[in-house]
């Protein structure tokens, strides 16, 4: 896949994520609603769909592959983690940070570490397996 063909999808994804989070921040400060959960769920949905579209853009069969799902899930978790950390760090979530928020961030940090390790481990395994299969023929 050529990198210039990925650019519109990546730019659209970045724009939508930024738009959703900016709207969320404005609503957060102008109303009494806590819009952080809506922004995080929207970010996850936009990122997942965009990454699936990006990975399967040139797929002839149209079926989702394991590699596409691994990439979409891993990418989504990392992006949601970054949004969640920014909301917690800059205190965009109204009120004092509760102990449960600290626990959530700690747990999600561990989850991101496991997902990233799994992604790279699975990718390395698939690559080694495909090289081993070709040399064994």
Q: What torsion, rounded to 10 degrees, do the Cα atoms 64, 70, 75, 77 define?
A: 120
Sign of the torsion formed by the C-alpha atoms of 86, 89, 91 and 93: positive
State the Cα–Cα distance between residues 115 and 70, nearest whole angstrom.
9
pLDDT at 69: 87
Average pLDDT, integer, range 49-54 = 88
Percentage with pLDDT > 90 across the chain: 4
pLDDT at 137 over 50: no
CB 71 within 8 A of CB 55: yes
Of the candidates 112, 103, 116, 107, which has an alpha carbon nearest to the alpha carbon of residue 80?
112
pLDDT by residue (tens digit) across 73-103?
989 998 998 888 877 776 655 566 667 777 8
């Amino acid at each position: 896949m050529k990198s210039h063909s990925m650019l519109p999808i990546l730019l659209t994804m970045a724009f939508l994520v930024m738009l959703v989070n900016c709207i969320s921040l404005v609503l957060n400060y102008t109303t009494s609603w806590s819009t952080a959960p809506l922004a995080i769920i929207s970010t996850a949905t936009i990122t997942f769909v965009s990454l699936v579209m990006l990975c399967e853009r040139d797929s002839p069969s149209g079926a989702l592959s394991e590699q596409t799902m691994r990439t979409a899930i891993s990418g989504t978790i990392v992006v949601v983690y970054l949004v969640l950390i920014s909301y917690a760090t800059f205190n965009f979530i109204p009120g004092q940070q509760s102990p449960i928020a600290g626990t959530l961030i700690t747990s999600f940090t561990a989850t991101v570490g496991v997902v990233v390790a799994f992604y790279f481990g699975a990718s390395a395994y698939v690559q080694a397996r495909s090289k081993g299969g070709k040399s064994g023929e």
